[in-house]
Chain A
């Protein structure tokens, strides 16, 4: 991502905290053609949906399609900066957690586990016919779920190239400590989630195109 783009975009309504206003429960695109075999829908699945992204029931102020990943990143950064008190960050994260649709127990499959986290995280990665990446995440930790909501808001529906360009550092503000966390740490579950999103994105693209650089070109 071009960091210049990220800093230029300053919508006047930033203080309204867009992620908060989004309803993240659009009717999910069904990637499970064969329900009798849920294992095949794991990250390796290449069933490409032919349905388009569906507008959420309550359209957000800015439609998702008009915001680039860079712009969303900026919004997230500003949002976290506006909450200097950890307690407020925790509250916001718990709110987001409540917006994140839970997996049903059968969705929490071992093959979707993001390993190396202090909390358990399950991540489902697929991509649709437009080449947009689709992510679903669930966790047994509420704070982690809150972070995951932010990641989903940021990257669900994004182009693979945009997903791969995000750096942990771009989300430096996303923490509940007063110290900005500079180094990637095992303790920061969402770092692992982001890295998993990217690794699985790459794997899917590799599988589909045999060459990771192909669909990543602008």
Chain B
């Protein structure tokens, strides 16, 4: 942790409105004081500074220069919008920088030195992605602009050639719009029918209902791995089993799992899986589709152009093999290489370690946030068997989440998301129009959670004082 953060004692202008314990005690030794109000977690106790292990959050923060800044009137930035996009470590920024400084060139198109090097690095990035999710071959990885494009690729290419009227696609109501809208468009074109799984009382997608909905008519099951709003985790193995039993394919939206845990596509048995680079420490502008080779091999192209053809005649063309078949035009070369660097960075830490640390953070976040009066957190309560992702979507009684987010940002430097998080059907199901969401990553610390909760209490007091 940088000392800069350690010594900042912010005096909010609303001292009298705040809970009296608003002073942050921070030292670079991870020596924590817990305030009675937030000490519902038993994990936080006074530890001996010298022996205190440095948390993953503290040890990785120096890699993220962007986190060490003041925003709005000098508040220390507390970045808790990681489900929207993650920050990038210097290793990734350097890799992109290095690409543009030393070997920027088009890929697969030139025999010259720079092009060969760029092609090499670009293909190396593909191999890194493949290894990261344990795909059996790197040709099973198609680079796309983002997860959304990857889903659209499957919808148009696989969907248009495999679905007929009355075929069914099973999804959950908790899907991101990116995993709903492409299928709605497809259903308009093909007559395929969308079937939605709702939530259980515990506010997790009802897997029993999903199992029942899957039938001989089902051709595709589209599910998220980790929910970007509920923080719940779906049992992909079982879902794949049920789907494959009736001959249906499974597409997993892994946007919120690949960055945070070990994801093994062979172990999961999924047919398609998508994720975005920008949520996993990589640059924006690149994402990927994993597809089983035999599926990709049978799929027609999605977009036409250079790179994806084998021979072009005036009346027809023959298409390149996957993955090139699906990568029309010049790809996001520097970004893909940056994604490769992000994977190196994450792998060096270890995804299991990241996950374990985040489970602990997730519990701390859930418990701390739960102490705020009038707060309602969506999704399942954490338990020995239920592990939540390190994010909480919530509302505070009588306050609009956008007002909360605005005040937290302006007054406390805390960046959270407000709105429907591209999950309007889910919000509607929960009877709300919007929610606030704090989402963490491995470079966040329990102090960040404390700052957030303290800021939230102040925010609630502030707005309530106007009522």
Contact = CB atoms under 8 A, between A and B. Distances in A.
Interface of A: 85-87, 90-91, 94-95, 98, 118-120, 140-144, 176-178, 189
B72 A141 contact: no
- For the residues of A in contact with B, the DSSP-based class is helix
Given A85-B73, A120-B433, A141 B402 contact: yes
Interface of B: 13-14, 72-73, 399-403, 406-407, 410-411, 418-419, 433-434, 462-463, 466
- For the residues of B in contact with A, the DSSP-based class is mixed
Ordered nearest first, which 7 A-B pairs have the shortest CB separation?
A: A141-B400, A86-B410, A118-B419, A94-B466, A118-B402, A143-B403, A119-B402
Contacts of B434: 118-120
B402 A90 contact: no
A140 B434 CA distance: 10
A94 B411 contact: no
A144 B402 contact: yes
Given A86-B73, A119-B434, A142-B400, 6 more contacts: A90-B462, A98-B466, A119-B403, A144-B403, A176-B406, A177-B72
A94 B410 CA distance: 15
Contacts of B411: 86-87
24 contacts: A85-B73, A87-B14, A87-B410, A87-B411, A90-B407, A90-B410, A90-B462, A94-B463, A95-B466, A118-B401, A118-B402, A118-B418, A119-B403, A120-B433, A140-B400, A142-B399, A143-B400, A144-B400, A144-B402, A176-B406, A176-B410, A177-B410, A178-B73, A189-B402
Contact of B400 (A91, A95, A119, A178): A119
Contacts of A98: 466
B72 A142 contact: no
Nearest to B72: A178
A95 B463 CA distance: 11
Contacts of B13: 87
Nearest to A84: B73
A91 B466 CA distance: 8
B466 A142 contact: yes
Nearest to A142: B403
Contacts of A176: 406, 410
A144 B399 CA distance: 12
Nearest to A95: B466
A143 B410 CA distance: 13
A143 B402 contact: yes
Contacts of A189: 402
Nearest to B433: A120
A141 B73 contact: no
Nearest to B14: A87
Contacts of B433: 120, 140
A87 B461 CA distance: 14
